[in-house]
Amino acid sequence: MSGDLGFGGADAASRLAHSRRAHRTNRRVFGVVCGLLVVLLALSLLSWTTTVQEGGPDTDTVSGRADGTGDEKPGQEHPVEDTPSGQLGLPGRALPERPTGHTALVSNPLYDTGRLSPLPCPVPELDVEDPDSMERFLHLVADCLDDAWTTQFDRAGIPFAPPNRVFWSEPGVSPCRAYPSPAGAFYCRASSAIYIGTSDVVEKWNGSEDSVVYASLLAHEYGHHVQGESGLLEYYHEQRQLEEDDAGRNAWTRRSELQANCLAGAFLGSVRVSYPLDSGDLEALLEDASATADRADGPDEERTHGSADNSVWWTRAGWEEQSAGACNTWDVDDGDLVK
């Protein structure tokens, strides 16, 4: 039996050695295969990145608010496609899409999402003479705006990404325009960013110490981002470009600006308890809406923001209703409300 055991042990040792050699060979083969896959994946990503970079920036822009000085309102110089509809998701799962065409304008699902319901938004004291204080203030209000509109877009089933923020203290250039800008603040769809000068807006608003004025300015420009993310801006620009004269193009622009006023009012109304905002702040807000409207004696080619009465009307409607549905300036029975 010992002989049998001796021969059996040698045979087992031989099989073990052979198995180890085979295992090492398999590991080398597996490593080579993995290496090839990594190289192929890297080449694919490099090719995709190059293709995206060669596409160039979008030029979809909406300029900032006017103060009666005739701030330039550049249209969309080149038609662009809006941000691609839908989002990355799991295989087999339906992807949300942005509304398109006339539906995005007049029957947007965002209009049916009810009152805004943001988290509490207590804001710090604002020292308008301190650019750092203004920047902190703007970021905090922007955080509240991100929260409020993310919730509404989720309810509507529309993909949403918060805008980028550029609160400038030094000159720079956006894909839409250079800054400082005569507007003091503007939204650029090409970079999905809100641009505000932390000192420029204080100077433009004559040193006003009412924080609601600056919160409203930010919320107004954020309203243009809401328009873009909801699919509305793409159709707006397409239709605006079809107009043959300033009067026709300005009629479209006024509706866009009045809607942004209303969306700003809706947000501020929704946070007025936690901000807090009182009747005095509402009065300051409405006075600002009137002051930043078109001049009554201004030429037709500069009438881009609506009359003082209409600017106030839509801002108050947003404040009281606190919903995007109250801000449908594209489907109103009384055309005088968008003049």
Give yes or no for residue 38 having a pLDDT over 70: no
pLDDT tens figures, 139-153: 999 999 999 999 999
pLDDT tens figures, 177-205: 999 988 899 999 999 999 999 999 999 99
| DSSP secondary structure code for residue 163 in this structure | P
Give yes or no for residue 260 having a pLDDT over 70: yes
Give yes or no for residue 273 having a pLDDT over 80: yes
Cβ–Cβ < 8 Å for 187, 193 = yes
Torsion over CA of 64, 197, 67 and 306, rounded to 10 degrees?
Answer: 20
Which pLDDT score, from 0 to 100, does residue 96 have? 74
Quick one: pLDDT band at residue 37, thresholds 50, 70, 90? Answer: very low
Q: Where are the domains of the chain?
A: 1-45, 61-83+96-338
Give yes or no for residue 51 having a pLDDT over 50: no
Closest CA to 115 of 155, 61, 73, 158: 155
Largest Cα separation within the chain, whole Å, is 118
Dist. CA 80–CA 87, nearest whole Å? 19
Quick one: pLDDT band at residue 259, thresholds 50, 70, 90? Answer: very high
pLDDT tens figures, 286-329: 999 999 999 998 888 889 999 999 999 999 999 999 999 999 99
Give yes or no for residue 50 having a pLDDT over 70: no
Mean pLDDT of 238-247: 95
Q: Buried b / exposed e across 161-173, counting CB within 10 Å, b at 16+? A: ebbebbbbeeeee
Which pLDDT score, from 0 to 100, does residue 183 have? 87
Q: Are strands 193-197 and 164-168 parallel, antiparallel or unpaired?
A: parallel
H or E stretch at 40: helix 2-53
Which pLDDT score, from 0 to 100, does residue 95 have? 59
**Greatest mean pLDDT among 31-35, 43-47, 296-300:** 296-300
**pTM of the predicted model over 0.85:** no
Give yes or no for residue 36 having a pLDDT over 70: no
Give yes or no for residue 127 having a pLDDT over 90: yes
Dist. CA 49–CA 321, nearest whole Å? 45
- Cα-to-chain-centroid distance, residue 266: 17
Quick one: pLDDT band at residue 94, thresholds 50, 70, 90? Answer: low
